[in-house]
Every structure is written in C-alpha cells, then in structure tokens.
A and B are shown apart, each in its own frame.
Chain A
Amino acid sequence: MNARAIAVLLTALFTAAAAVSWTFPPRARVYPMWVAIVGAALAALTWLRAPRSETVSGPTLSEIARYLWWIGALLVTTGILGLPTASALFAAAFLKHEGKAGPGASVGAAIATGVGLLVLGAALDLRWPPALIDVTRLLGLS
C-alpha cells in the first residue's frame, strides 16, 4: 500500500467519522466532527499531491507476514495456556526456527522467559490475560 492509497483510505475514514459525529449529541459532536472535517480535507490534499507511483522502501508485507503469524500464534497460545507458559514456548520455538539457536539455548531461553515473567509478575503485581488452561496457576506458580 503506497502513500496515495493510504491518503484515499484516510480521506474515506475521516469522512465517515465526520458523518458518524453528526449523529452525536451537540456537546459530543463539535470536536470530533471538526477534527474529522479538517482531517478529511488534509488527507484529500495529501491524496492529490501524492505521486501516482512512489517508491516505497523497506520490507514488503509478504516478508513481515511470517512474523505477524508468529505473534498471532503467541496470542492464541496465551489464550489457551496462559502468558508465562505461552511466552516460554514462544521464546524457545522462535529462537530455534528464526534465530537458528541450538536446542540448549532454546530450552534455556524458555526457562529464563517463564521464570523471569513469574518473578517480575510477583514483584510488580502484574496480571496475566485469562486463559483456558492456565498452566502456571494450575501448578500454583501464579
């Protein structure tokens, strides 16, 4: 997605926000409506000024998609096993597959991540997302 396409999308979003704001009660309406109108005008201006074809630098969506799947997998595992356990598994798997680390380093990273999170959680009274089978809670570790 290049700058022009984003400008078109933003113009549409600001316009929609302005239209939705119109339905709000007067005291809730003025600020978002005017911000949206100004935003739509600025985004349209950017759209008109953006070159038709602009070279975009950096990695492509297909190159980062793999890592988005990793993060998605971490979130799903967190929902099932709880954050400390999911993080430990994630660290080991990621280091093994993406970091090309040896099995010893991967297991060490898993233990360090899990234990580190539990210690940090206890010290700072942190909360973890609720999970279907919270392994650390079942083991009485959190």
Chain B
Amino acid sequence: MIEAAFAALGTLFTPSTLSFVLLGVGVGLMVGILPGLGGTVGMSLALPFIFGMDPDQAIALLIGIAAVVHTADTFPSVLLGVPGSSGSQATIMDGYPLARQGQASRALAAAFFASMAGGVIGAVCIFLVLPVARPMVLAFGSPELLMLAVLGLSMVGILSGDRPARGMVMAASGLLLGAVGAAPATPFYRFTAGNLYLYDGIPLAVLALGLFALPEILDLLAKGERIATEGTQPARGSVLQGLKDVLASKWLVVRSAVLGVGVGFIPGLGGSVVDWISYGVAARTSRDSEGFGSGDIRGVIAPESSNNAKEGGALIPTLLFGIPGSGATAVLLGGFVVLGLQPGPRMLTDNLDVTLLIIWTLALANVFGTLACLSVSGLVARLARVPAARLAPFLLVIMLVGAYQSTRSWGDLIAFLVIGTLAWFLRRADYPLPPLLIGFVLSTSVERNLFLSVERYGWSWLGHPGVLVITAMTVALTWGSMRVSKRAEQR
C-alpha cells in the first residue's frame, strides 16, 4: 500500500493533474466565499466538464473543489456572522464576535490553519481507516443515527447562553419548521397551505441567511456602525497570532478533526451538524470556557478543524459502499459513474491507485486552499472597517443571489425577507437564534430515524449498545457543561 501511495503521489505531481487541483481549489474557494452556496453547488458546476476527461485529472478537479469549500466559507462566517455554507454555521458563534472586536484577521488565520490541519488529518484518517472501516460504517443503523441527532440537539444548552428556556423554544421552532413539506414516512405534505414553494420544505441556505444575515445588516445600518466596533489589529501580526492560537490548541484541533471524520463517515447524519457537535464538545470540555460565544478563538478552531476533516470522513462510505455521506459526495458519486468507476470494496483492490490519489488530493488541496485564503485574508478583513452603509448594498445583493440559488424560485427571496424580519424581532427580544438553526438542521434526521427505528425494532432499539454509548456520551457532556456553568457562576 505504501508503494501505491507513492505512485499516486507521483501522479498527483504531474503538471496536468496539479493544474486541475489548482483549478478545483479556485472554483471551491469562489463557491465557498459566497453565502448560501456549498460544496454540492461547486461539484455540480464541474460535473458536466468531466465527460471524457482523464480520470486522474477529473478526480483532482472534483476533490480540489470539495476540499476547500469549507475553508473559504469562513470569510462570511467571521466577517458577516452569516454561515458561508452548512459546514460553517458554528464558526459564527465566536468568529463574528472576534471580528466585532477588531480581530477578524486573527480569527480568519486561525480558522484557515485549523481548516488545513483538519483537512490533512481527515486525509490521514481515511488512509488509516479505509481498510477496516466497513464494519464500523455498518454498525450505524437508524437508532444510532437518531441518538447522534439527539446528541446534536443537546448542544442547544450551550448555544442558548443564559436563556436556556428561550433556547429550547427556539430549538422546538426549528424542529417544527423542519417538518414543513413532505413527510418522510408517508406521501403527505405538511404546513404548506397549498403553497408549492413549501412542498420541499424551507431551504437551509435561505433560513440561515434570513436568521443571521438580514437582522445583522439591519442593525448595523440602523446604528450607522462598521462590523469592527473596536480597533483593528494589523493583518501580518494577526496571521502569526492565528497560527499560534492553533498550535496552542493542537489537541483541540486533533480531537475536533477526528470527531469530524467520525461524523462525516456516518452516512445520513449530514455535514450540517458536525460543526455544532465539535463546537459544543469544545465548549463543554475546554478549561475556562466562559468566553465561548463572545469571542473565544477556540470556538473558531474547533468547528473549522472538524468541517474540513468531515469531507475526508464522508468519502469513506462513498468509496466503500457507494453511499454518499454528504451532498457533495453524492455529486462525486455521479462523477465516479461518469468516469466509469464503481465505488465499493474493489476501490481498495482494483482501483487502489484512484483511492490513494483522492486521499493525496484532499490533503494537498487543503494546503493550497489555506495558502490562497491566507494571502487574501488581510485584504478581505479590511471590509470589517468599511461603514455598513457603504458595504450593505453589495452584501444584500450577494445574499439575494445566494438565497435565490436554493430552489431558483421567487419564494427563496420572499422567504429570505420574511424570515429575516421575524429573526430581527426574535433577536431584539433576546431569543437565541442558533438553537433554531440546529433544530431545523436535525429535524428530518430525528423524524426519519425515529420512524425507522420504531418500525424496525419496536422500542427494543433503546437497548442497542450503540444507542446506550451515545446516550451516555450525551448525558456526560450535558452534565459536564452544567458543572462548568455552575462553577463559572460561583466564581
């Protein structure tokens, strides 16, 4: 396998393959930086072009895109408090407060280094885990997936700050909003009022943009402020500081990346929850965690390490079983079919060279993506100093464009405006919005897996070993965070 790995590395470093990696990285960064567009869109863009391409080059292009979307999506998350894609939702929790404190460059640099480390760790993990991953993937059935979703929901406590009851109300609102549209267990459309737009449910990008972007921009405009309310740090020192922050939190990076790979390789759970889980785990298990939510750099490092690592994890079920672990890998699967590759256990025997090329590309694209983002981060961070009235028209246009790409109907734009206005009222009355988003993200997973578990196992699934282990983890993390909160209150 080591010889094959070196041969794949040689293939990657041929000028033609390398140029396609760079092209993929460029497209991935461009897609990532636009709020509302994610890896799935980026991969879909490239798919029509790979017909007839050399498989090595096509794979370099596709993996190059997938690897760096979650690196570039940090820009809107940190600078605007708007999730750049589904994988960078939790980054806004501390990234945006840091930008408001004039530390946007530091937050961006830390995020990019953490993303790179996470991506490389993800690639190493696939290399190590791939030969033994098959039984691990098969061990996750619907009961275990349901309990993982419950573990994700338990993060609401962390995300609610000092308003736990309001946080739970918001989480319930998210769970209910997630039930709009087609029911997973039966052909029936719920809460649509006959409106065709709602038949497929509310798109995640529209909801996230409406919840976070519009209220923030409206407030900035009304106050006549800039994003950075305090003095801005010089970019060069901040990049170094960001690197130091990541090095100081090296075990957090490793832990979050491994968590990202773990969540990523469970098909069906989806990448939209991994950053929340790693953020919650970091907030609950780190020392002096009182600063989480108000500008703790570890709150940026943890989700950014895990969301890039997740792409590696999501490749495991894709390669071994042909089961996509995320939207982007679903499109990648389509790419494999176009290239005449058949995902399955034979990817480790007959197509080992392709598999190893994927792993190397993943690692290298993460490095390229980080270098590219770092080179422009200082310039982009200056946007935080521009008065809102001069920045807002461009941001609003970008957000409308991003929102419209969700289903490409007028409903996206109207929903964006309605959700944004309602979110402004909720925010003003001190209702925490992140729990609403996490409830929404997990709603389908909770309902579908609860239905499947009860249909398949009755209530005996509650005794499954995996269920018990995840329940114990949920209880331990919740109890741990309550203890930390109590200690903080006593101090």
Chain A residues contacting B389 (CB-CB under 8 Å) are 94-95, 98-100
CB distance from A38 to the nearest CB of B (A): 6
Chain A residues contacting B431 (CB-CB under 8 Å) are 3, 6
- Number of A interface residues, CB 8 Å? 63
Chain B residues contacting A117 (CB-CB under 8 Å) are 397, 401
Chain A residues contacting B390 (CB-CB under 8 Å) are 95, 99, 101
Contact A91 B183 (CB under 8 A): no
Contact B396 A74 (CB under 8 A): yes
Contact B392 A24 (CB under 8 A): no
A59-76 CB contacts (< 8 Å) to partner B: 59, 63-64, 67-68, 71-72, 74-75
Where chain B touches its partner, the secondary structure class is helix
Cβ of A142 under 8 Å from chain B: no
Contact B387 A99 (CB under 8 A): yes
Chain B residues contacting A74 (CB-CB under 8 Å) are 396-397, 400
Which of A28, A58, A95 is the one whose CB lies under 8 Å from B188? A28
B382-402 CB contacts (< 8 Å) to partner A: 387, 389-390, 392-394, 396-397, 400-401
Contact A126 B405 (CB under 8 A): yes
Which of A1, A31, A42, A75 is the one whose CB lies under 8 Å from B168? A42
* Residue in B45, B183, B188 whose Cβ sees the most chain A Cβ within 10 Å: B183
Q: With A46-B166, A101-B390 as given contacts, are A75 and B429 in contact (CB-CB < 8 Å)?
A: no
Contact A90 B169 (CB under 8 A): no
Q: From B122-130, B170-178, B280-288, give the one contacting chain A.
A: B170-178
Q: With A117-B401, A128-B404 as given contacts, are A20 and B191 in contact (CB-CB < 8 Å)?
A: yes
CB distance from B217 to the nearest CB of A (A): 8
Cβ of B222 under 8 Å from chain A: yes
- How far, in whole Å, are A58 and B215 apart by their CA atoms in the complex? 11
Q: With A83-B400, A98-B389, A123-B30 as given contacts, are A10 and B221 in contact (CB-CB < 8 Å)?
A: no
Chain B residues contacting A59 (CB-CB under 8 Å) are 218-219, 222-223
Cβ of A45 under 8 Å from chain B: yes
Contact A90 B393 (CB under 8 A): yes
Additional 7 contacts, C-beta under 8 A, given A31-B447, A39-B172: A3-B166, A35-B172, A42-B165, A46-B165, A58-B427, A91-B394, A94-B392
* Residue in A36, A39, A101 whose Cβ sees the most chain B Cβ within 10 Å: A39
- How far, in whole Å, are A45 and B428 apart by their CA atoms in the complex? 20
- How far, in whole Å, are A54 and B431 apart by their CA atoms in the complex? 13
- How far, in whole Å, are A29 and B166 apart by their CA atoms in the complex? 25
- How far, in whole Å, are A24 and B410 apart by their CA atoms in the complex? 28
A28-49 CB contacts (< 8 Å) to partner B: 28, 31-32, 35-36, 38-39, 42-43, 45-46, 49
Chain A residues contacting B446 (CB-CB under 8 Å) are 31
Contact B183 A27 (CB under 8 A): yes
Chain A residues contacting B380 (CB-CB under 8 Å) are none
A-B pair count, CB < 8 Å, reads 165
Cβ of B204 under 8 Å from chain A: no
Cβ of A25 under 8 Å from chain B: yes
By beta carbon, the residue of chain B nearest A87 is: B397
By beta carbon, the residue of chain B nearest A125 is: B45
Chain B residues contacting A127 (CB-CB under 8 Å) are 404-405, 408
Cβ of B470 under 8 Å from chain A: no
Contact B218 A68 (CB under 8 A): yes
Chain B residues contacting A75 (CB-CB under 8 Å) are 400, 413-414, 417
CB pairs A–B below 8 angstroms (26 shown) = A3-B430, A6-B426, A6-B429, A7-B169, A17-B191, A27-B185, A27-B186, A28-B185, A35-B176, A35-B179, A36-B172, A42-B165, A54-B430, A58-B428, A59-B218, A63-B222, A64-B219, A75-B417, A83-B401, A83-B404, A91-B393, A94-B389, A113-B393, A124-B34, A128-B404, A129-B413
- How far, in whole Å, are A2 and B408 apart by their CA atoms in the complex? 35
Cβ of B190 under 8 Å from chain A: yes
Cβ of B421 under 8 Å from chain A: yes
- How far, in whole Å, are A21 and B41 apart by their CA atoms in the complex? 34
Chain A residues contacting B217 (CB-CB under 8 Å) are 67
Chain B residues contacting A125 (CB-CB under 8 Å) are 45
Q: With A3-B431, A64-B221, A99-B387 as given contacts, are A71 and B45 in contact (CB-CB < 8 Å)?
A: no
B29-50 CB contacts (< 8 Å) to partner A: 30-31, 34, 37, 41, 45
Give 9 nearest A-B pairs by CB, closest first: A39-B172, A59-B222, A28-B183, A27-B186, A94-B393, A28-B188, A27-B185, A63-B222, A99-B389
Chain A residues contacting B414 (CB-CB under 8 Å) are 75
Chain B residues contacting A100 (CB-CB under 8 Å) are 389
Cβ of A139 under 8 Å from chain B: no
Cβ of B461 under 8 Å from chain A: no
By beta carbon, the residue of chain A nearest B186 is: A27
Cβ of A109 under 8 Å from chain B: yes
Cβ of A138 under 8 Å from chain B: no
Contact B169 A91 (CB under 8 A): no
CB distance from B226 to the nearest CB of A (A): 12
